[in-house]
A and B are shown apart, each in its own frame.
Chain A
Amino acid sequence: MEQILANGLYLGSQYAMIALGLTLIFALMNVLNFAHGQMYVIGGFVTYYVYGQLGLPFVLALVASCVTLAVIGALIEKFLFAPVIKKSAREESTMLLAAGTAFLLDALIQLVFGEKQRGVPKIVGGVFNWDFRIIMPYDRILICVLAILSIVGFIAYMQYSKTGRALRALAQDRMAAQLMGVNVDRYSMIGFALGAMLAGLVGGLLVTITGVNLGMGGPTSIKAFMMVMIGGAGVISGAIAGGIILGFLEAIGLAVLSQYGDITYLMIFVSLMIFLAIRPQGLMGKPWG
């Protein structure tokens, strides 16, 4: 029982970070970042190279991942999304562009990083064993802590910094923010970069535990969407809730349902459908429709 809780917390903290990035981008631009999973993968590969191949300190590798993704996010927003959003009347265009960027990143990952599964040596050895009731390798605990710290840091940043306040104003009401003097174009770019960076950071953290490979992009994006569906789109608390809940559901499912085969996500999805029927906006999403 406690093991499930521990696993759930571990998974949940990672997932919450992924969901946060996705929801930030969505809140700012009403764009569903299809490439979010790919950004996670890129983050993982960068850390693999900097820490695993070049042997530089782990923290530096994480920073490298963050910077790389921030740059990628900013470029994508500035040169692709911003013009398309301005030009097109239909919502579908941005969605298709998002799909296109996902394909593009997948292609780039394949060309630059190759198709092999990569991993890095453990950053911390040993296993925490509390009376056999909770067994958790120390590195997982460390990553979990780092994730939680990052989430707290992110929330603090959004709450108290000038950039954070501008971003929140932008998310709430684009027009009003503009009237208040917020440079909408610049902050859209910053926001997208920030969201991408979060994905990259999780990738960097998790490469130390689950490794990374080319194929993880798509499924990770899908999981991110599910989190946003659970918690409600465009709301920070929703993203965290969605991430944590999915983490716990996955932990519970794996423990309880594995005897029936790989049906955890099927069950999660069916439950999600039923949940959405009752509450389509997710747990904390704003009522719309």
Chain B
Amino acid sequence: MMNLSKTQLLGSLSLLVTVFFIVPWLIEVSGRWDFYFTLTSVALLATASAGVWLTFYIGRINIGQGAFALIGAYTSAIMVVKGGWSFWLSLPAAGIFAAIVAVLIGLPILRLRGVYFAMVTLVLTQVVTLTALALPITNGAKGISSIPLPAGVSIAGIVLIPDFSTLENTKLAFYYTACAIMVLTFAVLYRLVHSRLGHLCRSMQQNEELASSIGVNIAYIRLLVFAISSFFGGIGGAMFGAITQSVYPSSFQVVDSVNFMLNCFLGGLGYVFGPMLGTLVLYFGWDLMFELGQYQLLTYSILLIVLIRFLPNGLLSITWAGRKDS
């Protein structure tokens, strides 16, 4: 099905081995258990950022992923807490609901371009936060807390996923789950980009009129891709809610939407794995700067500005010149 070259196969394998074996081993050895949460966050934020990256692929600047993450988080939380559903069912449901909202919003706004589209998505995040505060079902400002840990999944007596409340090391379990989601997301992303849909998106990026003239239904493709992007945002958010066991209107805000975009940009918009690298660097960087206390935001923003000022085309552009996905 997928024709992977030797280097690609090797690369993917080493990534998987690193993520699933080497990193946990390093953490056990060094005793820095807090890194589990950091890396789990990175994995999920990278998933959401992957969605933003995909929106870039249809030529739109998406600063609204925080909205979809929040929608996903609430959907899952409500389903689990108020509906008694299994978390594992609520996860894809959260993604799908986010995608549906994306379609509704996308219909009027996807024809907008550049700064105009970005503006609308920015406002979107704020509005979803306000909605969460206002609606009764989302519990307003109190949010939804004490979300139970994910239950187990078994078919015909065979346990596929153990009940998280029975596990000793839930941190590790969440880490594995988040990484699995991230790996799957990026696998899908990679496949999309290299399949016909990716080719069509590139044609739209490079010349919309010409793409139209060869029969590409531009509006439809944009909507489809935007829905997929938001799906990733939704599941990222839902997983986050499961880990922190709470969802508040402030769980995802405008600043998060901006950060998702920053992750993509830093990693390089031309590379599928850009968002992964960007998220890792930015989030770890932010976390490491925690020591700076009140100077954290200042240092972060200064570094960011310096980076954009001197590397306007992202991180990966310096080392991997020429290794573009096309």
Contacts and interface: CB of A to CB of B under 8 A. Distances in A.
Interface of A: 26, 30, 32, 34, 80, 83-84, 87-93, 95-97, 99-101, 103-104, 106-108, 110-111, 218-219, 222, 225-226, 228-229, 233, 261-263, 265-266, 269, 272-274, 276-277, 280-281, 288-289
A269 B123 contact: yes
A103 B61 contact: no
B282 to A, nearest CB: 12
Interface in B197-245: none
Contact of A32 (B115, B124, B254, B262): B115
Interface string B254-270: 11001001100100010
A131 B133 CA distance: 37
B115 A100 contact: no
Of all A-B residue pairs in the complex, the 10 with the closest CB atoms, nearest first, are A277-B108, A88-B312, A103-B301, A107-B298, A107-B297, A104-B301, A269-B127, A93-B312, A100-B305, A100-B304
Given A93-B308, A222-B122, A277-B108, A88 B313 contact: yes
A88 B313 CA distance: 7
Contacts of A106: 297, 301
Interface in B82-126: 105, 107-109, 111-116, 118-120, 122-124, 126
Given A93-B308, A262-B134, A233 B123 contact: no
Contacts of A273: 105, 108-109, 120
A101 B116 contact: no
Contacts of B33: none
5 contacts: A92-B269, A97-B305, A219-B126, A222-B123, A266-B130
A185 to B, nearest CB: 17
Contacts of A96: 261-262, 265, 304, 308
A103 B295 contact: no
B311 to A, nearest CB: 9
B20 interface: no
Contacts of A280: 108-109, 111-112, 116
Nearest to B307: A100
Contact of A265 (B111, B120, B127): B127
Interface string B284-323: 0000000000110110111011001100110000000000
A282 to B, nearest CB: 9
Contact of B115 (A30, A107, A263): A30
A266 B123 contact: no
B308 A104 contact: no
A29 to B, nearest CB: 11
A226 to B, nearest CB: 6
Nearest to B261: A96
A269 B123 CA distance: 8
B165 interface: no
Contacts of A263: 130-131, 134
A265 B313 CA distance: 36
